[in-house]
Amino acid sequence: MNKEDDSKKIPESVKEPAWGQTSDSNFGYEDDEERKEKRGLEDWEMLSSMAESKVGIPYWFIAIFFVLLIVAIGLTFPFWGNRPGYERPWFDWGIPMGVAWVVVMSFIIYYFVDLRHQLAEKKEEKNSEKETEDKIKNDN
């Protein structure tokens, strides 16, 4: 066959699964390994194969954050960045509001990174302790 015959070839119909049936799980590939090699993992496969991170926020990130915070506070002082003839007070409410924002956001970040996992582990421990207690009661 030449290229002209290939372009005129009518595509075959795709077999649609009936209601309640799943389609080919390999998406047209011979087996699962070939599918993973050529197509990669599906989203749900990636999520199920990823381990949950036990690492907190790196110290270098915290250090950079505090250096930037110190520079930002330093830039609010009246001797940096002022126009000639414009006097600014040494203290305004921007600094306490900025500190409040940093504290609140730090707690939120900490909750999302660490505290949530600790609470889940405690809940799992309680459930496993309860299951062992129930098992001991049932054995007696």
Model pTM score: 0.40
The model's pLDDT over 1-15, given as tens digits with 9 standing for 90+, comes to 555 566 666 666 666
Q: Quick one: DSSP state of residue 83?
A: P
Measured CA to CA, the distance from residue 133 to residue 137 in angstroms comes to 6
93-96 long-range contacts, CB within 8 A, separation 24+:
none
Give how far Cα 27 sits from Cα of 10, 24, 40, 44, 68, Å: 21, 6, 11, 15, 50
Q: Provide the CB-side half-sphere exposure for 125 (13 A, CA).
A: 6
pLDDT of 98 higher than 60: yes
Give the residue from 63, 65, 57 showing the smallest Cα distance to 114. 57
Going by pLDDT thresholds of 50, 70 and 90, the confidence category of residue 104 is very high
Going by pLDDT thresholds of 50, 70 and 90, the confidence category of residue 136 is confident
pLDDT of 96 higher than 70: yes
The model's pLDDT over 43-54, given as tens digits with 9 standing for 90+, comes to 878 877 777 666
Is 78 within 8 Å of 89 (Cβ atoms)? yes
